Structure formats: structure tokens, C-alpha cells
Amino acid sequence: MYCTSKCQRNKGDWNRIPGGARIRHVKVISLNVGEPRLTVYNGATINTGIFKKSVSGRVALRTLNLDGDRQADLSVHGGPNKAVYAYPSEHYGCWRRELPEMDLPWSMFGENCTTEGVGEDEFHVGDLFRIGSATVMVRQPRMPCYKLAAKFQRDDIVERFLVSGRSGFYLSVEREGEIGVGDSLELISRAGNGITIAEMNRLFVREKYNLDLLQKAIATEALPEAWREYFLPRLNGPAVNT
């Protein structure tokens, strides 16, 4: 089930910009990087960059990733529209209640930035932020693969993750710079007409043929083209076998 608003939201000040756009105060509480490593899952050895560790100090944020961070399979991970993965810390409380037997430290979901402040419902694809001396843009939700199952060592976590709506979000780097723990995401411009990350999750999992959401997603200028191509065929509704 989707997480309740108690898990998704946290009280905080609103960050306003000219024109009335606003978003709650968001900051980085853990900065996490890692190089690819081998792990064993269901008897198979796989190479993955999902194992990350918290780091201190300022870290250079470049077009494709943070210094000290790499992805193993560049055919599906990484790239300009997946340069940084952010995950709200508020979701960890939900997961700890659902999975009380597991140790869930920051970075457990493979995120680069563990954030505090708001959830997926307040981030639009195309929102532009300043973080440290870098500028980033919200691009898309995270769609997990079997490597998340390898990290958790349990087969059910991918489906749990998808239906929960607790996806986190990927950022592109519009201007390189340095970031660190304690940095705030300062809103530069709001893509108010863009689809939100929460709406993207609904469209991917529960409302695959929601015409209004499909049109909203396709019209969102900052949406990666691969997503637009994925959604376009759905405009005609589900295929009917004859």
C-alpha cells in the first residue's frame, strides 16, 4: 500500500521564490557513494553499484555522478537523467515498521542523497534546485531492478517498493559543483504544470491508462524521452484481444 502522509511529510518552512512557487525546506542528511562490487544473490554472482556508504565533507557533483560513485551496468543505470538518486529519509520509518527484522541504515536503497523535508508528491519533473554550488533538476522516479532484491536478499522487495509509491527521484546535473551533508535544496524554478513524481508512480503501477496523467506526463518538457515513448502507446487504452 502507499505510504500515509505521516510518513511522507515533515513539518518545515516553505521555500518561496518570485511568482509564488513554493516547496517545503529540504536538506541532505546523508551523502552516499560507492564503487561497483560483486555480491551473490540466488546463487548468482552479480556486479552492482547499489552498495553505498555515507561520506563527510564536500564532494564534487559532476554531469554523470558524484566523485567516488559509479554504476555497474550503464545500459540501464546512470546517465545524464539519472546522475543523482535522492531518497526521502521519512520513508525509512515506514520501511522499518514493515520490515522490523532488517537493519536499514541511510543509503540502504542505494541513494546518493538521503533527504529530509518532503516526499514525491511535492516534486515536479522539471523543478530546478540549487544544492551547494551545483544546480540540479528533478527528472524521474526510480524503477527498481533485481539488484535491489540482491541488496535486501529478499525476492519481494522490488514489488513492495513499486506498490509503496516510495520511489525517491533522480536528478540531472544542470551545473556542476560541490555538495555536502547539511546542504539545502533551494528552489530556483518550479515546473508547476509538470507531472509530479507521485503521479508518475501512480501512472506506472496503479493507473496505467489514466488519460489525464498520460497527457500530463507526455506534455512535461523535462520528462526524459524514453519515458515519453513508453507512455505514448497507452493513449489509445489497453490492447484488446480479438
Q: Which three cell numbers stand for residue 56?
A: 563527510
Distance in angstroms (rounded) separating the CA atoms of residues 230 and 210 = 14
182 sits in the region (left: phi over 0; alpha: psi -120 to 50; else beta) called: left
pLDDT digits (tens, 9 = 90+) for 185-206: 999 999 999 999 999 999 999 9
> Could you tell me the sign of the dihedral formed by the alpha carbons of 147, 163, 159, 193, in that order?
negative
pLDDT score recorded for residue 6: 47
Confidence of residue 224 (pLDDT cuts 50, 70, 90): very high
Q: Which of 119, 89, 120, 118 is nearest to 105 (CA)?
A: 89
End-to-end distance of the chain based on CA atoms, in angstroms?
34
pLDDT digits (tens, 9 = 90+) for 21-67: 555 689 999 999 999 999 999 999 999 999 999 999 999 999 999 99
E strands within 97-239?
Answer: 113-116, 128-131, 134-141, 169-175, 177-179, 185-189
Domains of the chain: 5-197 (2.40.33.20)
